[in-house]
Amino acid sequence: MSHDEIDRILSHDEELLPSSGFAASVMDAVRREAAVPPPIPFPWKRALPGLAVAGLTLVLVVLVFAAEATQLGREAPSAQVSVWWMSRLTPIMMATTTPTAGWTLLALALTLASVIFPLRLAGRRT
C-alpha cells in the first residue's frame, strides 16, 4: 500500500456507528456496576496497633541480638562463640523434637471449634 492510498483512506470522514444493541448493552453494564455497593474498606485503625507492635518487637530482637553478638565478640575468641551459639540453640532444638501431640490436638480442636461454631450460627439465621 502506498502513502497516497493510505492518505486517501484516512482523509474520508466516515461516520462510525456501533452495531445494533451495543450502546444499550454498554449502558446496562454501566448501570449494573453503578448499582453495586462499594467494597468494604480494610480496617487500618484496628490493624495499625498490631503492625506497630510487630515492628517494635522485630526492632528489639535485632537490637538484643546485636548487643549480645558485640558483647560476646569482645569477651570470647571465635571458638567459644560457636560453643556459645550451640549452648543457646540446643534447648530450642530439643524443644522442637519433644512429643507435643496433646498441645497439637488441643490447637486443632480449638481451630475446628472456632470454624464450626460461626458456621452453625450463620446457618441458623437464614
The count of domains in the chain is: 1
Domain membership flag for residue 86: yes
For the CA atoms of 101, 102, 107, 109, what is the dihedral angle to 10 degrees?
Answer: 110
Domain membership flag for residue 59: yes
Residue 82 is predicted with a pLDDT of 66
Please give the residue range of the domain that contains residue 78.
44-120
Domain membership flag for residue 85: yes
Domain membership flag for residue 34: no
Helices (H), the chain: 3-11, 22-35, 44-75, 78-97, 101-125
Give percent above pLDDT 90 in the chain.
Answer: 29
- Measured between alpha carbons, how far is 52 from 56 in angstroms, rounded to an integer? 6
Domain membership flag for residue 49: yes
In tens, the pLDDT along 38-97 reads 889 999 899 999 999 999 999 999 998 888 777 766 665 556 666 776 777 777 666 666
Domain membership flag for residue 101: yes
Domain membership flag for residue 126: no
